[in-house]
Amino acid sequence: MAAPRSYHHGDLRRAVLDAAIEVITAEGPGAVSLRDLARRAGVSHAAPAHHFKDKAGLLTALAVEGYELLAAAFGQALGAGSARLEELGVRYVRFALDHPAHFEVMFRPDLHHRDAPELVAAQERTGRVLRDGVAAMPAARRGDDTGLATIAAWSLAHGFATLWRGDNLRRLVADRAPEDLFRNTAGLLFGERG
């Protein structure tokens, strides 16, 4: 960082991505400017374009990274043998809160190149991981239609995470940690009884 950069940065791609994550986390995707990111990385204003082509390209790369992180976090939970569907949801919520910038960009198709092959691949892979996770749950908890159960679980976790991040839930319930709150919410719907 303090070292006077040679002509080549070394890992500009990562540096720009990290700077973007920082900006998005603080001010949202609208505040991202390629020129600003370049400044932060200490390179000229046109350098980032060489790695991402576009502003949309940069955000696409971020989304891809996000889908991969999510799949990893989820696969890890499955590997640990969590047999409870709620725990998978908790992982999802935690991902959204731990990686707000990625989460933000992932579900904002208007910000990236919708059909970049790496993006589509990452989305499909993650979708499969989610579905497999739900399928691995004891049948009693999910009915007989895995696709539908996946949609239910995903919708619940995704909606919760989104609304929480948007500050829409605070007014409905006394101060509580989001993960616990989600556990209760999911328990209400997926538990043995209503």
Q: Within 25-64, which residues bind DNA (CB under 7 A)? A: 32-36, 38, 43-47, 49-51, 54-56
Partner from DNA, its own copies, none binding residue 44, C-beta < 5-8 Å depending on class: DNA
Nearer to its own copies, 15 or 93 (CB): 93
Binding site for its own copies (CB under 8 A): 27-31, 107-111, 123-124, 127, 131, 140-143, 145, 147-152, 154-160, 162-163, 166-169, 171-173, 181, 184-185, 188-190, 192, 194
Minimum distance, C-beta of residue 64 to its own copies, in the bound complex (Å): 15
Which residue matches tokens 């400044």?
A: 39
Candidates 2-10, 86-94, 160-168, 170-178 — which segment interacts with DNA by CB under 7 A? 2-10
> What's the token pair of residue 85?
């569907």
Which residue matches tokens 């538990």?
A: 191
Please enumerate in sequence order all residues whose Cβ is within 8 A of that of 118, keeping only pairs 6 or more positions apart, or say none. Answer: 60, 64
Nearer to DNA, 49 or 69 (CB): 49
> What's the token pair of residue 131?
């579905």
Please state at what angle helix 55-79 crosses helix 34-41, rounded to 10 degrees: 70
* DSSP state letters, 121-169: HHHHHHHHHHHHHHHTS-GGGT-S-HHHHHHHHHHHHHHHHHHHHTT-S
Contacting residues toward DNA, per CB under 7 A = 6-10, 12, 32-36, 38, 43-47, 49-51, 54-56
